[in-house]
């Protein structure tokens, strides 16, 4: 296992629609192991393969951040089957560090995908888990957190983010 570098906005891989996973092999399992280790090292509650530069429809999620080993979810080729309710809550993104914003998401979602053992599954998420499903699936579709913000919020936060990036580069 290895901790991989998180790709940061505006890296082009973050704007590309990821390819479906077609081969479920040892190489894919190693990729998942690396993703899990990287997610926990940040720490984050989710990580999509494009965030480490691999354009595949694959994500890992653990809303307990490693506190419960049975809480880890690994899903390939996920799609949202249904979404109900609406919550506006603060959200951040490992690929856009330092930015937290109020983002509207469905309160409950039902997601379909495949496990590493090629088992077809349907999972339901509510609250933070539903938010994580939606956030990671956005990454697989080439979307980043900016795309879920209103125009005024986006422009204000992008301006702050660019300023902080320039300061970080000067150091």
Q: CA-to-CA distance for 89 and 87, rounded, in angstroms? A: 6
- Say whether 136 is catalytic: yes
Q: CA-to-CA distance for 111 and 93, rounded, in angstroms? A: 21
Catalytic residue among 27, 37, 102, 136: 136
Q: Coil, strand, or helix at residue 77?
A: strand
Q: CA-to-CA distance for 155 and 108, rounded, in angstroms? A: 29
Q: What phi and psi values does residue 73 have, to the nearest 5 degrees? A: -120, 130
Order of strands, edge to edge, in the sheet holding 73-84? Answer: 46-48, 58-61, 73-84, 108-114, 120-126
Residue among 79, 25, 22, 30 at smallest CA distance from 56: 22
Q: CA-to-CA distance for 96 and 50, rounded, in angstroms? A: 13
Residues with a known catalytic role: 136
């Amino acid at each position: 296992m290895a901790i991989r570098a998180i790709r940061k906005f505006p890296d082009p891989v973050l704007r590309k629609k990821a390819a479906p996973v077609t081969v479920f092999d040892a190489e894919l399992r190693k990729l998942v192991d690396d993703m899990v280790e990287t997610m926990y090292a940040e720490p984050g509650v989710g990580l999509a393969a494009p965030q480490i530069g691999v354009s595949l429809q694959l994500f890992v999620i653990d809303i307990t951040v490693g506190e419960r080993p049975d809480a880890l979810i690994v899903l390939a080729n996920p799609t949202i089957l249904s979404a109900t309710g609406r919550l506006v809550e603060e959200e951040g993104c490992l690929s856009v560090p330092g930015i937290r914003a109020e983002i509207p998401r469905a309160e409950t979602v039902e997601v379909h995908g495949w496990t590493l053992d090629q088992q077809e599954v349907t999972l339901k998420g509510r609250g933070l888990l539903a938010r994580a499903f939606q956030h990671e699936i956005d990454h697989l579709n080439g979307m980043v957190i900016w795309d879920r913000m209103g125009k005024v919020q986006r422009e204000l936060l992008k301006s702050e983010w660019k300023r902080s990036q320039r300061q970080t580069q000067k150091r």
